[in-house]
C-alpha cells in the first residue's frame, strides 16, 4: 500500500485535510518530491502529481492568494489540505 500510493501517505503524514484551507501547489509539490526522495521512490512530474491529486478527489486550480511576503499572486493551489504544524 505504501509504495502503491505515496501521495496519500504524504497527505496523511505531512498534511491535514481541511475543506476550508488551500496550499500553493508549488509548495506542496516541493515537499512531496522531498518526501519521495526520503522514501527512495521515483520522483513524479508536476502534471503527474496534479492528476493524482484530482484522482484522489482534491481540487487543483488557479486562485489569487498571498506569497510568503504577503504579496497577492495568481497561482495554482491544492484545495482541502494544509501543512501540519
Identify the pLDDT of residue 51: 97
Are 62 and 75 spatial neighbours (Cβ–Cβ below 8 Å)?
yes
Q: Is 90 exceeded by the pLDDT of residue 75?
A: yes
**C-alpha of 76 from chain center:** 10
pLDDT given at position 85: 74
- Residue burial 3-27, b: 16+ Cβ < 10 Å; e: rest: eeebbebbbeeebeeeeeebbbbee
| Tens-place pLDDT, residues 9-67 | 999 999 999 999 999 999 999 999 999 999 999 999 999 999 999 999 999 999 998 88
Would you state the pLDDT for residue 77?
Answer: 96
SS3 category, 56: coil
Amino acid at each position: 500500500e505504501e509504495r502503491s500510493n505515496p501521495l496519500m501517505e504524504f497527505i496523511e503524514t505531512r498534511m491535514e485535510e481541511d475543506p476550508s484551507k488551500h496550499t500553493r501547489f508549488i509548495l506542496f509539490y516541493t515537499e512531496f518530491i522531498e518526501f519521495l526522495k526520503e522514501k527512495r521512490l521515483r520522483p513524479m512530474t508536476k502534471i503527474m502529481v496534479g492528476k493524482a491529486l484530482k484522482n484522489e478527489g482534491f481540487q487543483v486550480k488557479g486562485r489569487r492568494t498571498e506569497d510568503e511576503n504577503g504579496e497577492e499572486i495568481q497561482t495554482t493551489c491544492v484545495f482541502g489540505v494544509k501543512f501540519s504544524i
